[in-house]
Amino acid sequence: MHEMSIVVSIVEIAESEAKKANAEKITEMELDIGTVSGIEIDALNFAFDSIKHKTMLKDAEIKINIIEAKSICEDCKYEFKTENVYTLCPQCDSYKTSILKGKEMKVKSITTN
């Protein structure tokens, strides 16, 4: 479960930023997670619940924004929703497609107290 190592990194980043702001605790953290990022949301939530009680996030609300994946065809320029990184263009069947969004995994905001 690579989500645990991701959560450890997120917590380290959040705590570092909170300490820079002389905060005692983090009350809320908002994340953007793309649908083709390779991150399982349930596993991510489980990992947070497993380790946050020992951190500045112990009482924090974790908000996760799901970013739907969208691709563009490099041949016909058609933009479309996608469920994986290897989707053919539904317009022209080209394999030359690129992900525009949906691979995100970022900390959008941290609220401290």
**pLDDT tens digits along 29-61:** 999 999 999 999 999 999 999 999 999 999 999
Q: How far is CA 46 from CA 2, 37, 77, 82, 88, in A?
A: 12, 17, 39, 26, 33
| Residue 92 within any structural domain of the chain | no
Residues 6+ away with beta carbon under 8 Å from 75: 89, 92, 94, 96
| Residue 64 within any structural domain of the chain | yes
**Any idea what the CATH number is for the domain that residue 64 is in?**
3.30.2320.50
Query: Rounded mean pLDDT of 88-113?
Result: 95
| Residue 80 within any structural domain of the chain | no
List the domain range (segments joined by +) for residue 37: 3-68+101-112
| Residue 8 within any structural domain of the chain | yes
Q: Considering only CA atoms, which of 104, 83, 105 is closest in space to residue 5?
A: 105
| Residue 90 within any structural domain of the chain | no
Q: Is the overall model pTM greater than 0.95, yes or no?
A: no
| Residue 85 within any structural domain of the chain | no
pLDDT for residue 1: 54
| Cβ 11 vs Cβ 45: under 8 Å | no
